[in-house]
Amino acid sequence: MRVAAAFARPPSRPALLPAGRLPQARLAIDSGRLDAALNGGLALAGCHELYGPAATAFALMLVLASARAGPILWISDGRGEDGRLHGDGISELGGDPARLWLVAAGGVVPMLRAAGEAQACPALAAVVLESHGEARAIDLTVTRRLQLAAAAHGVFTLLLRGGPPRPSAALTRWQAQPAPTRRLAADAPGPPRLALTLARQRGGPADINQLLEWNRDRRRFVAAGQSAGQLVPIGFAPIGLAYARGRPAPPHPGAGVAAAPGRAADQGSVAA
Amino acid sequence: MPLLPAERLTRAASRPDAETPLLLVASDRGRQIIRAANQAALAQGLTPGLALADARAAVPDVAVAPFDPDGDAACLDWLARGATRWSPLVRPCPPHGLLIDITGCAHLFGGEASLVADAVTRLARLGFTVQPALAATPAAAMALARFGGVRVDDLPLAALSELESVQQALRRAGLRRVGEVARLPRSAIASRFGEALVAALDQLLQATPEPLNPLLPAAPVAAQRRFAQPVASHEAVRAGLQKLLLAVQVKLTALGQGGRRFALALYRADGHVAEVAVETAAPQRDVAVLLRLFDERIAALNDPLDPGFGYDLMRLAVPDTAPLAEAQLGLDGGALAETQLTALVDRLSARLGRGRLQRLARADSHIPEQASFLAALGEPAADWPRPDPGEPPARPIRLFDPPQPIEVLAEVPDGPPRRFRWRARVHDVTAHEGPERIAAQWWRRKDGAGLTRDYWRVEDGEGRRYWLFRHGLYERETAAPRWYIHGLFA
């Protein structure tokens, strides 16, 4: 896990290596069960599929956590029913809305063509494809092409999808649900929490649930259940935790909260 | 082209029977009046102004069609675009004239006379009768074309003024030709016949320059290729385009400029002109990059290029240029990344259209849906406020514009929401924060009214977070405030 952390946030980068896109760079997510299952973190040179009502938020958080320089190209195939991206809200997540470049492709096929152009440009921080509805055109071949391009150019590619999961060659598939937050003073909702499920992973374990809270100020996830004061940053993880990989996975840090009845209902609604 | 309306219809219907009299009529106070006619009709004395019934009485066998000035104007515009093959400065002169400024162009066609002959032949091939005229000023050329003749001095008085009263006054003074009027002192003409006549005389005789106001602005840099044999294949057109781009690149490099817009005009042998243009985000003159942009633009065209019998002229114009220094690669890679991004923006714009690339822009407004909007990517980026550390997000990442109405149950009318119904589902509020009060923009409204919004950040039993507002303060502004959902949080 310390290896993963070193790759995820290279402390010093050689000045003459502008791209800095190591093909094996990985983004540590929870420094826990997810990272262990992902062999150290989410591969940044790859294509990942995100499903679920919190997919937009999860995609933005992942790109912000990856801390890559350059614009985020957000290509959409049309208008969904969930409104438009809101600049102030992205800034409230810790992002700079000016870095977000939006492409209204107006259809799945133009979106995929634009993605082909974008994935050849390593100066982008990430390419996010937002499809609405089932989008049958995004099949095994298309996702394989996206994955190969992402790996070849080291471009972090995220594919937001609706409808039931479809066959795909993406590296991972995620279900992202909003989860009840911890309460602040006067019963106010706290920072965003996501109930994540790593539903599928190519050549790796899957079906892992994790409850994570987004820390905007540090631009990273923290395991839910730890309040901001008890945050355990990755770089200073206790030694004992570093060996957690070899042992059976420890119980879910946020298990108490995750067992809330709302969560099971949530996942039921996605499958529907 | 005095017979343009009739000849246009003959051409459109591809009817070769130029022998049948064709009358174009329009209703005038209940009567059908001839507004235009073809050569055959004119030869039989059926002139514009005659009533259709009278014409039928004289010549029973006539074809009749409605008079369509808009169609004529469109046809003239189409011809004007085709006429840019002779000179970039072309202006359509309604109802049926074309003004072409051939200053400095005639030698390319072997002199003025052969240029005129070329124009007459080409237009005749399209089925148009042309009355060409060459003169030193646009007004003189139009008058000569209209009234015939070679010398401006021999023109009739009608060339000076449309008004019958002015013409009559001139005739009474014993003047019959423009040349005779021109010999009089200007002050005398002005005092007797008015300033307008002096102005008209000066326009005819080049005493005052008359700007042509062309159809297309002249491009600072352009190149063209002429083909003895029209080219039709895609490869040949592409090869021609590559040579044009090279020529333009040489010119731009010499000027230290790059183009921001490149317009390619393909002149088909039958007079049609196809136009394709690409725009770049940054000044550009690299042939390979531009060729690729053109490829993508042409591939994305809604109606593919139809070469027909082939193109006999290609012209590439660069109407918009900007300074571009010689490229220098930075050691830090910053310049490289910048170049890659600019190239990406250009390729996406060529493929999807420039308006499809946007960024979130910020407006100076308290109303949330007006504070953030989409602007073109070329616009400068705004500075966004940084949120206070340690606070949960106060604004949603997705915004409904316009807000969607919901049904809300609250314990007290001005209290927080307890339960709401949205998209046919009931959500129980488990946590809330608010209200955040956003006043209406009363200073923008004449009556100073407008409803205040009380925003609430709420979470339902499933952990989803919503941004709701109550529109109007209870009892102070409205008796039954409505509720809306305005956004979704992470």
Q: Which CATH number is A61's domain given?
A: 3.40.50.300
pLDDT digits 0-9 by tens, B275-288: 888 888 778 888 88
Across the interface, whether the CB atoms of A124 and B344 are under 8 A apart is answered: yes
Asked whether residue A84 is assigned to any structural domain, the reply reads: yes
B221, B255 Cβ separation under 8 angstroms: yes
Q: Which of A61, A113, A263 sits opposite B351 (nearest CB)?
A: A113
Q: Which residues lie below 8 Å from residue B486, measured CB to CB, with a gap of 6+?
A: B368, B369, B396, B399, B400, B403, B455, B467, B468, B469
Percentage helix, strand, coil, to 5, in chain A? 30, 20, 45
pLDDT for residue B161: 74
Question: Across residues A75-89, what is the average pLDDT?
Answer: 87
pLDDT for residue B323: 83
Q: Is the peptide bond before A253 cis (omega within 30 degrees of 0)?
A: no
Q: How does B409-421 read in b/e, with b if 16+ C-beta sit within 10 Å? A: ebeeeeebbeebe
Between B421 and A9, the higher pLDDT residue: B421
Question: Across residues B239-261, what is the average pLDDT?
Answer: 88
Across the interface, whether the CB atoms of B490 and A190 are under 8 A apart is answered: no
Instruction: Tell me the shortest Cα–Cα distance from B343 to chain A, in angstroms.
Output: 9
Residue B327 pLDDT grade (very low, low, confident, very high; cuts 50, 70, 90): low
Asked whether residue A65 is assigned to any structural domain, the reply reads: yes
Residues of A in contact with B337 (CB under 8 A): 18, 69-70, 123
Q: Which residues lie below 8 Å from residue A20, measured CB to CB, with a gap of 6+?
A: A10, A13
Asked whether residue A9 is assigned to any structural domain, the reply reads: no
Instruction: Tell me the shortest Cα–Cα distance from A83 to chain B, in angstroms.
Output: 4
Asked whether residue A3 is assigned to any structural domain, the reply reads: no
Can you tell me the distance from the alpha carbon of A82 to that of B277, in angstroms, rounded to the nearest whole number?
A: 36
Residue A271 pLDDT grade (very low, low, confident, very high; cuts 50, 70, 90): very low
Looking up tokens 């409850």 gives: A211
Q: Which domains does chain B have, with CATH numbers?
A: 4-67 (3.40.1170.60), 69-121 (no CATH), 133-217 (1.10.150), 221-349 (3.30.1490.100), 398-488 (no CATH)
pLDDT for residue B460: 92
Question: Of the ranges B217-221, B261-265, B344-348, B385-389, which one carries the lowest mean pLDDT score?
Answer: B217-221
Q: Which residues lie below 8 Å from residue B144, measured CB to CB, with a gap of 6+?
A: B133, B134, B135, B150, B152, B155
Across the interface, whether the CB atoms of A265 and B462 are under 8 A apart is answered: yes
Whether A232 shows a pLDDT value over 60: the answer reads no
Between B378 and B359, the higher pLDDT residue: B359
Quote the DSSP letter at residue B50: S
Percentage helix, strand, coil, to 5, in chain B? 35, 30, 35
Looking up tokens 């999807």 gives: B352
pLDDT for residue A252: 45
Can you tell me the distance from the alpha carbon of A44 to that of B128, in angstroms, rounded to the nearest whole number?
A: 66
Q: Which residues lie below 8 Å from residue B476, measured CB to CB, with a gap of 6+?
A: none
pLDDT for residue A142: 94
pLDDT digits 0-9 by tens, B39-62: 777 877 777 878 888 888 887 777
Whether B274 shows a pLDDT value over 70: the answer reads yes
Asked whether residue A15 is assigned to any structural domain, the reply reads: no
Between B335 and A243, the higher pLDDT residue: B335
Quote the DSSP letter at residue B191: H
Helices (H) and strands (E) in chain A, counts: 9, 12
Residue A231 pLDDT grade (very low, low, confident, very high; cuts 50, 70, 90): very low
Whether A126 shows a pLDDT value over 90: the answer reads yes
Q: Is B114 helix (H, G, I), strand (E, B) or coil?
A: helix
pLDDT for residue A196: 93
Q: Which of A61, A217, A266 sits opposite B390 (nearest CB)?
A: A217
Report the mean per-residue pLDDT for chain A.
78
Across the interface, whether the CB atoms of B433 and A16 are under 8 A apart is answered: no
pLDDT for residue A270: 36
Across the interface, whether the CB atoms of A86 and B368 are under 8 A apart is answered: yes
Residue B77 pLDDT grade (very low, low, confident, very high; cuts 50, 70, 90): confident
Pairing of strands A26-27, A42-43: antiparallel
Between B215 and B382, the higher pLDDT residue: B382
Whether B1 shows a pLDDT value over 80: the answer reads no
Question: Across residues A250-271, what is the average pLDDT?
Answer: 39
Residue A257 pLDDT grade (very low, low, confident, very high; cuts 50, 70, 90): very low
Between B8 and B388, the higher pLDDT residue: B388
Cβ contacts of A262-265, under 8 Å, gap ≥ 24: A262/A179, A262/A180, A262/B461, A262/B462, A262/B463, A263/A177, A263/A179, A263/A195, A263/B462, A263/B463, A265/B462
Question: What are phi and psi for residue B188, nearest 5 degrees?
Answer: -65, -40
Question: Across residues A102-122, what is the average pLDDT?
Answer: 90
Can you tell me the distance from the alpha carbon of B223 to that of B245, in angstroms, rounded to the nearest whole number?
A: 8
Question: Across residues B150-179, what is the average pLDDT?
Answer: 76
Across the interface, whether the CB atoms of B338 and A19 are under 8 A apart is answered: no
Whether A263 shows a pLDDT value over 70: the answer reads no
Q: Is B180 helix (H, G, I), strand (E, B) or coil?
A: helix
Whether B182 shows a pLDDT value over 50: the answer reads yes
Residue numbers of the domain that contains A129: 24-271
Q: Where are the alpha helices (DSSP H) in chain A?
A: 2-8, 33-37, 55-66, 87-92, 108-119, 140-153, 239-242, 255-258, 261-271
Asked whether residue A123 is assigned to any structural domain, the reply reads: yes
pLDDT for residue B434: 79
Asked whether residue A135 is assigned to any structural domain, the reply reads: yes
Residues of A in contact with B395 (CB under 8 A): 86, 88-89, 91-92
Across the interface, whether the CB atoms of A86 and B398 are under 8 A apart is answered: yes
A22-26, A179-183, B54-58, B91-95 — most confident range: A179-183
Residues of B in contact with A258 (CB under 8 A): none
Report the mean per-residue pLDDT for chain B.
81
pLDDT digits 0-9 by tens, A173-195: 999 999 999 888 888 899 999 99
Task: Give the count of Cβ contacts less than 8 A between chain A and B.
Answer: 214
Can you tell me the distance from the alpha carbon of B241 to that of B244, in angstroms, rounded to the nearest whole number?
A: 5
Whether B187 shows a pLDDT value over 90: the answer reads no
Number of domains in chain A: 1
Q: Is B452 helix (H, G, I), strand (E, B) or coil?
A: coil
pLDDT for residue B45: 78
ipTM comes to 0.75
B167, B161 Cβ separation under 8 angstroms: yes
pLDDT for residue A230: 42
Asked whether residue A190 is assigned to any structural domain, the reply reads: yes
